[in-house]
Amino acid sequence: MFETSTLNARNKKVQRLVNILFLLMTLFLIIPVLIILGTLVVKGSPVISLDFLLDSPTKGMTAGGIFPALLGTVWLVAVDLVIAIPIGISAAIYLSEYAGNNWLTRIINLAIINLAGVPSIVHALFGLGAFVLFFQFGTSILAASLTLAIMTLPLVIVATKESLQAVPQAFREACWNMGATRWQTIRRVVLPNSIAGILTGLILEISRTAGETAPIMFTGAVFFTPFLPQGIFDQTMAMPLHLFVVSTQVPGVPENLPYGVALMLIALVLTMNSLSIIFRAWLRGKKKW
C-alpha cells in the first residue's frame, strides 16, 4: 500500500513536470508571434486607411497605397489554387485508393517528400527556366502561379492523402458489397467524407503561396507597373515583393510604411485562411460519424 502511494505520488509529480514543460514550450512559440504581431499593429496601423488599400504607390513607392500589390496577390493565389488543387487531389486519390505498395509508389512518395524540402529559390530558378523561357509564357501571372503550384503540391497531396485514409475502410466495403465501382465509391462516399481534411491542405497552400517572394520575383511579379493585370499572361505587383522593395530597395520610405504593408499581408492571409476554416468547420458539422 505504501509503495503504491509512493508510485502514484511520483507519477503525479512527473505528470506535473511534463505539463509545465509543454506549457513553457507553447509559450516560447506563442510569445514571439504575439510580439511580432503587436509590433506590426503598433507601427503599421497609423498608415492603414481606405486610401492605403485602394490607391496605387506614388512618389517612387514612398507614398500612396497597395491596391495593385493586393490585387496581384489575389490573382497569384487564385490561379495557383486552380492549378494545384485538381492535380494534388488527383495524385492523392491515386496514391491512396489505386496504387499498391510497390517500388513505384515508394519512389513517388519519396519524391513528394523531397519536393517539399526544396528551397523556394530553387523552385524560382526552375520556374524561370521551364515556364518563362522554355514554354515562353514570359514573366506573367501564369508562370508565377505554375511555379507556386509545383512548390505547394506536396502540401495538397499529403493533406488529401491523409484525409482519404482517415475515412473508415468499412465505408468502402459497404459500397463495394452494394455493387458500386471503385470510382463511384470514391466520388460518392470517400471524397465527401474527407473534404474537411482536404481543406486543411488548401489552408496551408494559401498561407505559403501568399507569402512567397523568390518564386514570383523571377517569374511574374514586378517592382512596379502602372496597369492592373487583365489576364494570366500579364505581369503584376505582389504583396511579398512589394514589402521587400519598400523595406530594402527604396530610399526615403516612411518608417511606418513597411510595417503597414506587412500588417496587410498578414491580414490578407488570415482572411483567406479564416474563410477556409469556417467552411471546413461547417462541413465537419455535417458529418454523421
DSSP secondary structure letters along 69-90 = HHHHHHHHHHHHHHHHHHHHHH
Instruction: Return the pLDDT at 209.
Output: 86
CATH number at 64-284: 1.10.3720.10
3-state SS class at 17: helix
Q: How does pLDDT run across 66-82, given as a tens digit for each residue?
A: 999 999 999 999 999 99
Asked if residues 66 and 53 have their Cβ atoms less than 8 Å apart, the reply is yes
In sequence order, the β-bridge partners of residue 57 are 64
**CA–CA separation, 40 and 34 (whole Å):** 10
- Stretch (H or E) spanning 64: strand 63-64
* Sequence spans of domains, the chain: 64-284
Tell me what pLDDT residue 289 has: 53
The answer to whether 88 and 213 are in contact (CB under 8 A) is: no
Measured distance CA(184)–CA(227) in Å, rounded = 47
What is the reported pLDDT for 225?
Answer: 83
User: Could you tell me which of 193, 198, 199, 164 has the C-alpha nearest to residue 273?
Assistant: 199
| Ranges of the chain whose pLDDT falls below 50 | none
DSSP β-bridge partners for residue 64: 57
CA angle 62, 236, 132 (to 5 degrees): 130
Q: How far apart are CA 232 and CA 124, in angstroms?
A: 18
What's the grid cell of residue 128?
A: 524561370
| Closest to 219 in 3D by CA, of 81, 72, 60 | 72
pLDDT in tens, 201-214: 788 788 888 888 88
Q: Do β-strands 57-58 and 63-64 pair in parallel, antiparallel, or remain unpaired?
A: antiparallel
Q: Please give the pLDDT value at position 268.
A: 87
Query: Is residue 71 within 8 Å of residue 228, measured between CB atoms?
Result: yes
Contact 204, 220 (CB under 8 A): no
- Which is it for the CA torsion 87, 235, 222, 267, positive or negative? negative
**pLDDT of the residue at 252:** 84
What confidence score (pLDDT) does residue 127 get? Answer: 93
Give me the helices (H) in 45-168, please.
Answer: 50-54, 67-93, 103-116, 120-127, 141-166
Classified as helix, coil or strand, 88 is: helix
- Is the separation of the CB atoms in 241 and 217 below 8 Å? yes
Q: What is the distance between the terminal CA atoms of the chain, rounded to a whole angstrom?
A: 44
pTM of the full structure: 0.85
The DSSP element (H or E) to which 57 belongs, if any, is strand 57-58
